[in-house]
Copies of this chain bind each other. A is one copy, B any other.
Amino acid sequence: MKIIEVRVDQIHFISDMVRDGEFHSHPGKPHDAKQPMLTIVCDNGIEGHYVGPMVKGVIEGGCSQVLIGEDPLFRERIYRRLLQYQRLQTELNERTLCAIDCALWDIAGKAAGLPVYKLLGAYRDTVPCYGSIMVGDDIKGGLDTPEAYAEYALKLVKQGYKAIKLHTWMPPIIPEPSVDMDLEACKAVREAVGPNIPLMLDPYHYYSREEALRLARGLEKLDFLWLEEPMDEHSASSYKYLTENTKLQICGPETAEGKYMTRADWIRFGSASIGRAGALTCGGLTSLIKCLHLYEANGMSVEMHGNHIANLHLLGATGIDGKYFERGLLHPMLDYEVPKPWFTANYDKMNENGDVIIPQGPGLGYEFNWDYIKNNIVK
């Protein structure tokens, strides 16, 4: 089997999401937008697909030099060549590496006639999830007050979510992030959902050590399950300080570069009590598996970052504590259950127990709306 074509199509759609000045998403006015979709074509007719953020130029440019003519089942060889390319050509960022790697896993699953989690060695067909509430905003009817969070969190619990995570307010929505405002939102949510729903917080990411510690101690009292990324993750020392000075579980790293190697160093430093990793920020499933195994070897749990399809397959293939799929981001004014137009169905379907079902189709198991895609490729 050989790769003969690598192509990134742009699919036109009407988006109801806008990005703010810190790249966080919020509901917004409908507008034209483009969704990149990677296709890797093999000489036997198998095509691997991936939909997500990626840099089209570097894939169709330098990366295609590595890919064309290569056996797509040689994922480890391709991955290591791309890692070396990534050192100087940083347009090949983790999410672009993720795109390529996931499309190769899609090919492998299709070649084997198996969903990816069964290639890996399955553990379960469904995984618990939490509802992950979008970053705070200043929209009436949105997430503009502690009460708005409380009301929405309760609604999600009634919909079947068994755990909830908040993202709170950050610039440019508010000029100055505030530990007090964060704690008010967390307190309101705890009071609304009662004592038995696990709660987590993902706040502003550039607090000082002292602010982060005050936030953590406030969350201890509200019986939160974990706190993630309240400080710049490039300082593993700061996370060690925070982890040592609170009883709250600190979960990380999420966005720090360095994949499994950074995580090995965080473990050695004692910088977090729960590990964190995700396909998008770790450069794909091949790297994510290594993160998982690292945590398992060290007896640590790991929580997956983001609602990524590769995270879902990995969670289907592990029995270590690291139990939640992050479902969302959710917002009172958006319907998460409506699939994007390039899909006929979401890949992270929730069942009546509030668990997410691992996709069962061969490969990654996307359910594509090919008519929509074909009719909306931007020429």
Q: Which residues of A contact B (CB under 8 A)?
A: 71, 73-77, 79-80, 104, 108, 111-114, 118-124, 260-261, 263-264, 268, 286, 289-294, 296-299, 317-319
- A319: which B residues are within 8 A, CB to CB? 76-77, 80
Query: Once the chains are docked, how many angstroms separate the CA of A119 from the CA of B124?
Result: 19
Given contacts A76-B317, A317-B76, contact A264 B297 (CB under 8 A): yes
CB distance from A107 to the nearest CB of B (A): 11
Which partner residue on chain B sits nearest A259 by CB separation?
B297
- A264: which B residues are within 8 A, CB to CB? 297-299
Check if B261 sits within 8 Å of A121, measured CB to CB: no
- A76: which B residues are within 8 A, CB to CB? 120-123, 317-319
Check if B294 sits within 8 Å of A121, measured CB to CB: no
- A77: which B residues are within 8 A, CB to CB? 122-124, 319
Query: Once the chains are docked, how many angstroms separate the CA of A286 from the CA of B297?
Result: 12
The 27 sampled A-B contact pairs (Cβ below 8 Å) are: A71-B122, A73-B114, A73-B121, A74-B121, A74-B122, A74-B123, A75-B121, A76-B120, A76-B123, A76-B319, A77-B122, A77-B123, A77-B319, A79-B121, A104-B121, A108-B118, A108-B121, A111-B112, A111-B113, A112-B112, A112-B114, A112-B119, A260-B293, A260-B296, A264-B297, A264-B298, A291-B297
CB distance from A11 to the nearest CB of B (A): 28
Contact partner of A111 (CB less than 8 A), chosen from B114, B293, B318, is B114
CB distance from A165 to the nearest CB of B (A): 26
